[in-house]
Chains A and B, each alone.
Chain A
Amino acid sequence: MKKPLVSIIVIVIVIVGVALIYYATRPPEVVPTIKIGVIGPMQYVQGIGHWNGATMAADEINAAGGIQVGEKKMNIELVQADSNEFINITDATNAMERLITNDKVDFIVGGFRTEAVLPMQDIAMENKKIFIGVGAAHNELCLRVAKDYDTYKYFFRGSPFNSSFLGRTSFIHLGTVAAIMKMTLNIPKIKVAIAAEKAMWTEPMIEAAEGVIPKMGMELVGVWRPSPIATDVTAELSAIQRSGAHIIFTVFSSSVGIPFARQAGELKIPAVQVGINVEAQKDGFSQATQEMGNYVATLNTYCRSVEYNELTKPFVDGYVERFGETPTYTADTYTAIKYALAPTIEKAGTLDADALVAILENASYMVPSGKVEYLKDAEGNHLHELRWGPGYLTSLGVQWQDGELKSFWPNKWKAVPEAPEVTYKGIVPYKIPPWVVDAYKQ
């Protein structure tokens, strides 16, 4: 009788012991989170913008209790991936692979160079992960969605709008500045020089500019194509000055935008700069040009003193307070997470990518830089491309004035004659550099 009793006691002790050990060593209760991969060149301003914007969005959402997914609330967990895409595109694809296979993220935001984002897009699409591109502007990224919807439907453009719209906006800025020059300086026919870095994204813009500038009543005096990483452009600037150009239409996204602006300012080249100069969108531009970049104008998304709508100021002020600088367009990871992903997840009540795509592609929502809607192509196929125009996204025309970035456009802008005028709060007049005034004032 005693033996079975002992056995039972031993078994009970073992079971209790195992249960106690399990209880003591059990893994902490895992709070479910939504994992969002933030991919970008993290050692560079663009990647830092990606991360800062995403961090701000995640912190705000988590502080408010997280995202309601069906019955439960889930917090956002960000995973950073350095794409190193300025140096090595393979690093970018590896980083994307790692986010998906190793970190098992649910969504991805970021990317910058089109050359890197295209292969990154393929990886995300193969794995059916929603990827909101924040940085690359090439049209092909969204044309792929229309061409092969089943494969590419998980891609959405987050920022900026595409190259064609960027070009169109830049030509409006060019026309605006040309009109001011013409009126102020009595120049009968404005001469324009195009200075565009040698890069894939600039080719369609140059082609378009060569056609559009004469149609706008201006004379095109030449096209200069410095290397994107040129550090000395005095030769180009001398040649541009000899061409008699009044306006230099810039198409720069790389470092060449800095020496170009600095040297043009220091040499007092009698021509104003307008167009796209991504380096001039950053707060550090003034230091980088040793204050010689004053009066440079460029297309931009945010400017401290300008409000598109009631969402702009809280975002820009909050960003400046937290990170000490004005957000650039790569910080629109904030918009991608807070205004695109979070509300869509809440509406769908699931993290299922197909369910979310169906909601997001038909959504219309306000963001700090305007209103987002996604375009379809002429055949009615989804492009997941951002709509451009009054009432939607327009961007800004900004100019460096006395060491500060100010916005001069849109100022009573009408997209078509019958359209209402558009002027955002905080717009200031465009200023012609004094040495240009001195050179042409009659």
Chain B
Amino acid sequence: MALDIIISGLISGSVYALLAIGFSLIFGVARIVNIAHTAFYMVAGYCIYFATHEMGFHPLWGMVAAVILVTLLGMVAYKFLINPIREHEGAVLIATIALAMALQEIMTLIFTGTYLSVPSLIKGYFLILDVKVFYQQLLTFFAALIALGVLWALLMKTRLGLAIRSTAQDREVANLMGINEARVAMITMGISVGLASFTGAIVVPLTILDPLMWMHPLIMMMAVVVLGGLGSLKGSFIGAYILGFAEAIVVFAIPAGAFLKGSVALSIMILVLIIRPEGLFGVTFEEER
């Protein structure tokens, strides 16, 4: 059972980590709470379905096309919807909720509410100490690790990464130092939505497509972000695995209460917040002020 929990926890934790880090990134840099983050993840899933099922593309090309298209969509949404009201955080929050709902309705109009699916990149499973693991799950796990590694390298080893981190630390000072803060925010939005669409692309063969599929990951992603500390990438990474393992433990330890896995994970978040209101790695509220 322990191995089941480890494998299940690692896979769901990786997915949550990818989503939460993208969400944290744009929040840290531009203070944008992008509720539409997981809606982009959903749109990527539908793009792959359309490319593979309707146009007959190989799933891999469908994934590449989905990531590119959805990233562009995210940047366009930022330019015309979010940027004009960026200084008003409440308005941004509401605008992104509206955007998510609009994307949901558009997908419903095009594809109806019928449950759809896309093929796995690699079919079948293998055994690790008698535990069955899909090749696609393994692919998802390593793809998530690689994506996180690339993101780390981008942030820590490049000038763009330096600009993003500087802007995240202090927007005004970064501006004074000659960093085009608006441009950095735009690029960060692209990276953030790119991560969401990449997550959608690697997860969608393991799940089913429907226009409401963005809601559950949104709740879990926000729980991860709050647990890890708003704006902290390290916190999001660790928080994602904590909640991923919590879910797996519930399913294996209380089979008749498997539906409680989300609630238990959220309860852990609440407990941590009671003890440490700023989250595991968040900036304390006093310091922020």
Contacts and interface: CB of A to CB of B under 8 A. Distances in A.
A267 B252 contact: no
Interface stretch (A25-33, A90-98, A286-294): A286-294
Contacts of A258: 115, 117, 208
Nearest to B247: A235
B97 interface: no
Contacts of A267: 125, 132, 134
B252 A239 contact: yes
Contact of B117 (A222, A223, A230, A289): A289
B251 A235 contact: yes
B278 interface: no
Contact of B208 (A41, A87, A288): A288
Interface in B1-19: 1, 4, 8, 12
B113 A231 contact: no
Contacts of B118: 290
B105 to A, nearest CB: 9
A439 interface: no
A197 B228 CA distance: 31
A266 B117 contact: no
B117 A290 contact: yes
A389 B114 CA distance: 32
Interface string B45-74: 000000001000000000000000000000
A259 interface: yes
A238 B119 contact: no
A227 interface: yes
Contacts of B125: 266-268
A57 B252 CA distance: 49
A290 B49 CA distance: 12
Given A232-B206, A234-B134, A234-B137, A48 B117 contact: no
A115 interface: no
Interface string B30-57: 0000000000000000000000010000
B259 interface: yes
Interface string A244-272: 00000000000100110011001110000
Interface string B231-265: 00000000000000000100110011111011000
B289 interface: no
Contact of A259 (B132, B207, B251): B207
A349 to B, nearest CB: 41
Contact of B114 (A86, A222, A284): A284
B11 to A, nearest CB: 8
Contact of A48 (B109, B112, B256, B258): B112
A134 to B, nearest CB: 18
B112 A44 contact: yes
Interface in A156-206: 197-198
A228 B123 CA distance: 25
Interface centre among A44, A86, A223, A284 (most CB of B within 10 A): A44
A230 B207 CA distance: 9
Contacts of A414: none
B181 interface: no
Contacts of A262: 117
Given A43-B113, A266-B124, A288-B116, A236 B258 contact: yes
B115 A43 contact: no
A290 B259 contact: no
Contact of A223 (B53, B120, B212, B255): B255
B108 interface: yes
A86 B213 CA distance: 13
B131 interface: yes
A241 B257 CA distance: 17
A45 B1 CA distance: 38
Contacts of A279: 115
B183 interface: no
A383 to B, nearest CB: 32
A263 B117 CA distance: 12
Nearest to A255: B115
Contact of B258 (A41, A235, A242): A235
Contacts of A290: 117-120
Interface string A133-160: 0000000000000000000000000000
Contact of B116 (A86, A242, A287): A287
Contacts of B248: 235
B262 A231 contact: no
B132 A238 contact: yes
B119 A235 contact: no
Interface string A199-240: 000000000000000000000001111111111101110110
B208 A45 contact: no
Interface string B198-233: 000000001110101100100000000000000000
A150 to B, nearest CB: 38
Nearest to A194: B256
B258 A224 contact: yes
Nearest to A285: B115
A228 B119 CA distance: 22
Contacts of B8: 234-235, 238
Contact of B251 (A223, A228, A236, A242): A236
A214 B119 CA distance: 39
Would you list the 4 A-B pairs with minimal beta carbon distance, nearest first? A198-B259, A231-B207, A44-B113, A235-B251
Given A239-B1, A239-B251, 8 more contacts: A198-B259, A231-B208, A235-B248, A235-B251, A239-B4, A242-B1, A288-B115, A290-B119
13 contacts: A43-B112, A198-B259, A225-B257, A225-B259, A234-B132, A238-B252, A239-B4, A258-B115, A259-B208, A267-B125, A284-B114, A287-B117, A288-B116
